[in-house]
Amino acid sequence: MNHAPLGDSDLHVSNLALGTMTFGEQNTEAEAHAQLDCAVSQGVNFIDTAEMYPIPPRPETVHRTEQYVGTWLAHQPRDQLIVATKITGPGRGFDWIRNGPRIRREQIDAALHDSLRRLQTDYIDLYQIHWPDRYVPMFGATSYDVAQEREHIPIVEQLQALADWVRAGKVRYLGLSNETPWGVVEFMRCATTLGLPKIVSVQNAYHLLNRTFESGLSEVCRHLNVGLLAYSPLAFGWLTGKYLANPQAHGRITLFPGFGQRYTKSSVRVATIEYVRIAQEAGLTPTALALAYVRTRWFMNSVILGATSVQQLQENLDSCRITLSTETLEQIEAVHQKYPNPAP
């Protein structure tokens, strides 16, 4: 497992990370701990979670993932692990989180205090805004709609509140998630102008069916030295190929259809068929092809893996040893040109 600096920070993260959003919904506490043990035993040092996990968010289970990670973390060498979590943004109908989540000072203070307690740690290595406080098109939306603009907490105020936690030593670095090029640039402008902590990472979706990061954010992140943490590298399981043989196969798409609407477009299926064919011709599983592709992009810092069993996780981890041939990469690019970003 390779490790590299995360953006403009001294955090050296493994190029595969463990995502935890199934912990507490699809996975028990014991299963969660087994996945954490498996990942760390093979060189993973980066654990990603969020206050709103597990997915799908429900009042009955909210915060359970951080709790499960915390009961494991309490028995680990803390300084050898990089723990990331996120504060929930507004506008998604989760008003039972802090009576309506916003990225304002009092809510940041409450969210951070509670995450530290649940995670049973004195500090968080990377604290991320799960999605912007302002309106942006995301989770399947692709066009900016001026009519949906809403009142929002100014970015400078968000950054000033977060900076106090960095100065106090409770947060080491700051990151964004589900952000746009303008958002990353504005956070960095405020930080540079006012001497506030810089953003070191952005956690956005990136996979063979969604390469939109390449069109704007890749340039921004390169010049501002912001690392990409890629989530959904298997596109909610589509890139494993299992839904081609059985559209009702067990997985998040069928268990929680409300969270997989972006994968209902017809071009998702036809593009996936092509990627599965390429994998078979290369002597690889579709999972291995998808993960190896994402991991080896020049702008990639770490790929966040999600699994519901140790067996699935092991297959994902094994992909770190795969390098795709020039011929395979050319075939992937040909499919992308034919079916560009069918699930943004």
What are the residue ranges of helices labelled H in the chain?
Answer: 29-41, 64-73, 105-119, 155-167, 181-194, 217-224, 242-245, 252-255, 266-281, 286-295, 310-318, 326-338
Measured distance CA(328)–CA(115) in Å, rounded: 43
Q: Residue 229: which of 27, 19, 2, 1 has the closest Cα?
A: 19
Catalytic residue among 53, 68, 231, 243: 53
Q: What is the largest CA-CA distance in the chain?
A: 55
Residue 339 annotated in active site? no
Strands 300-305 and 227-231: parallel
SS3 93: coil
**∠249-252-257 over CA atoms, to 5°?**
95
DSSP assignment of 326-337 equals HHHHHHHHHHHH
Strands 3-5 and 12-14: antiparallel
Positions annotated as catalytic residues are 53
